[in-house]
Amino acid sequence: MLGLETAWSPIMAHRNRHEEERAVGLGTLKSVGKFVREALERAANEVESTRQHDGPDLKDHAPPESPDSAPAAGDELLSELLELGREITAALVEDLREYPEHELKRRYVESEVTLDERRINALRAAARKAGATLATGAARRLAIAQVWQEIVNVDSLPSEPSLREIPAVREIIVGLDRRVEELAAEYGLPCDERDPPGYRASTGLISGKHLPALVRRYCGLAHRIRTVRDGLTEVQERARKKSKADQWK
């Protein structure tokens, strides 16, 4: 009978694999670019036409000084969003691939359950298969670039950065947690006793990337985009009302 450490030795390796380059097409983000660029252009034009009436207070919302700067501003935000989505996808896919075996080993070691060599090997194989399946599905789902803009449209942006706050990623994590619990129950291992339970991103480097740091940057950018969008909406509404008031003169 193999010893516990011999049977589980592969999982002791650092969770580090070559980053899989995912073709997250910039072209599929054009819809986001269109809304940012058009909104900025409209706001700039309307503010310019009403500036003689409304004065400096409209400038508090800081729209571009000319429409020519709007495409550059929109492209900069979208390029950063795309890059963060690509980096999060690559790191997350590798973390998901390793997580089921890592988590099931943790529960086995910390529990009173004892499995023979055959059962340990079967559980390890099932965990690896689950990780590979989940990673492949996640890579395919997150390669659709529009999923990285969904967080901007939720009713309330998260106050704390979290993978679970990204709608498409949350769906993946729910499936991951469900599969890990199914395997734990099948082999008599305890439920996740942590608070809160469920998947936690690796805090180590994954192919040179720190996943929690990438998520913080992504959520911060989502707040920035929402702030810009809401500010532009307010400017447009003020300009609309001013135009209608001028008609009454």
pLDDT tens readout for residues 58-102: 333 344 444 444 445 556 777 787 789 999 999 999 999 999 999
Phi and psi (nearest 5°) for 57?
A: -65, -30
Q: Which of 72, 79, 92, 103 is nearest to 25 (CA)?
A: 79
pLDDT tops 70 at residue 53: no
Does residue 174 carry a pLDDT above 60?
Answer: yes
Q: Is residue 24 classed as helix, strand or coil in its secondary structure? A: coil
Q: What angle do CA 19, 125, 129 make, to 5 degrees?
A: 50
Query: How many Cα neighbours within 13 Å face the side chain of 35?
Result: 13
Lowest average pLDDT, out of 25-34, 169-178, 187-196, goes to: 25-34
Angle between helices 69-110 and 211-247 (to 10 degrees): 140
Rounded distance, CA 231 to CA 236, Å? 9
- Tokens 């390793």 correspond to 98
Confidence category of residue 226, pLDDT binned at 50, 70, 90: confident
Rg (alpha carbons) of the chain, rounded to whole number: 24
pLDDT of 133 > 60? The answer is yes
Spatial CA neighbour of 222 closest among 168, 158, 141, 143? 158
Q: Is 209 left (phi over 0), alpha (psi -120 to 50) or beta?
A: beta
Q: Which residue has the higher pLDDT, 39 or 234?
A: 234
CB 29 within 8 A of CB 78: yes
pTM higher than 0.85, yes or no?
Answer: no
The candidate with the shortest Cα–Cα distance to 202, out of 101, 132, 125, is: 101
Pair 183, 124: CB distance under 8 Å: no
d(CA 162, CA 178): 19
Q: What is the pLDDT of residue 222?
A: 80
Angle at 243 between CA 238 and CA 248, to 5 degrees: 125
Residue 240 has pLDDT above 70, yes or no: yes
